[in-house]
Amino acid sequence: MSYANLTYDVADRIATITVNRPDKLNALNDATIAELGLAIDAAVADPAVGAVILTGAGRAFVAGADISELASQTPLIAQRRARAGQAVFRRFETSPKPTIAAVNGFALGGGCELAMSCHVRIASEKAKFGQPEAKLGIVPGFGGSQRLPRLVGRGAALKLLLTGDMIDAVEAHRLGLADEVVPVDALTERTRALATTMLVNGPLALAGCIDAVQRGLDTSLEEGCRIESDLFGVLSATADMREGMQAFLEKRPATFTGR
């Protein structure tokens, strides 16, 4: 599969999706969003892939939806565009394989929303985050008004949404929007190291953790605990559980097969 607006590479069981429109600061036009959907589907379907890193080419992660496309949208096209983007971003969020955003620069609007749809966000010291949609006379369209308060709380989310201000990586980290801040030159290495640490663990367990957190966040504590206990039960039927516990008892590293 070749992409016009992305690059897609797999090495050491890690798929790296790089949004590649650097002259437009990787702004997400409709075509790029569609390709992101194809790329995450390819990564999820590929048994040789265990984790996904999402990043941007050049000085931006993603500087938002492509304003040149938004500028002429009608209400129905805008609604369809938002829903199509939301569906693609949701695939990053519900991927059974960990998705990690390596935020190398501007993560604004749709870029911040895309990063928030990943399971973990590692920011370089040069990263900048923000939801500037109100400056354009719109609200976020790709889930930002929903994921931001879930990540940083209502007050901090509304402050960012209502001002449209950009914040730096350190402030994003303080708010819980970025999970780590690393020097620019260390971003790739640190993100890959994090993915590699996850890949040592059982793939069914990784999928189960993601599923429990995602579904649990959308429901009551009681229902979330039921989801967890069901997954706990199901995983106890797997060869991976037997291998993980046997390896511990035999004081050796586990070899998981995802069965």
Which residues belong to the active site? 113, 133
Query: Which range, of 117-125, 132-140, 147-155, 189-197, touches ligand COA by CB under 6 A?
Result: 132-140
Binding of residue 64 to ligand COA (CB under 6 A):
yes
Tokens for 179, please give them.
Answer: 């999970």
Question: For 205, phi and psi rounded to 5 degrees?
Answer: -65, -40
**Least distance to ligand COA from the beta carbon of 16, Å?**
22
- Which residue in 37, 109, 144, 208 binds ligand COA (CB under 6 A)? 109
Of 35 and 66, the one with the shorter C-beta distance to ligand COA is 66
Tokens for 37, please give them.
Answer: 């959907």
* Euclidean distance between CA atoms 257 and 240, whole angstroms: 6
Binding of residue 108 to ligand COA (CB under 6 A):
yes
Residue 137 DSSP SS3 = coil
**Residues recorded for the chain:** 259
Rounded to an integer, what is the distance from CA 15 to the centroid of its chain?
A: 13
**Least distance to ligand COA from the beta carbon of 64, Å?**
3
Say if residues 123 and 180 touch (Cβ distance below 8 Å): yes
Tokens for 45, please give them.
Answer: 């379907």
* Structure-token match 């870029």, residue found: 111
- Which residue in 17, 39, 53, 65 binds ligand COA (CB under 6 A)? 65
Cα separation values, 26 from 34, 202, 211, 212, Å: 14, 34, 30, 32
Of 2 and 74, the one with the shorter C-beta distance to ligand COA is 74
Residues 27-46, interacting with ligand COA (CB under 6 A): 27
- Amino acid letter, residue 22: P
Cα separation values, 234 from 43, 154, 200, 223, 231, Å: 24, 35, 20, 17, 5
Binding of residue 142 to ligand COA (CB under 6 A):
no
Query: Which range, of 41-49, 63-71, 186-194, 248-256, touches ligand COA by CB under 6 A?
Result: 63-71
- Which residue in 132, 143, 144, 244 binds ligand COA (CB under 6 A)? 132
Residues 153-212, interacting with ligand COA (CB under 6 A): none
Residues found near ligand COA in the complex (CB under 6 A): 24-25, 27, 63-68, 106, 108-110, 132-133, 136
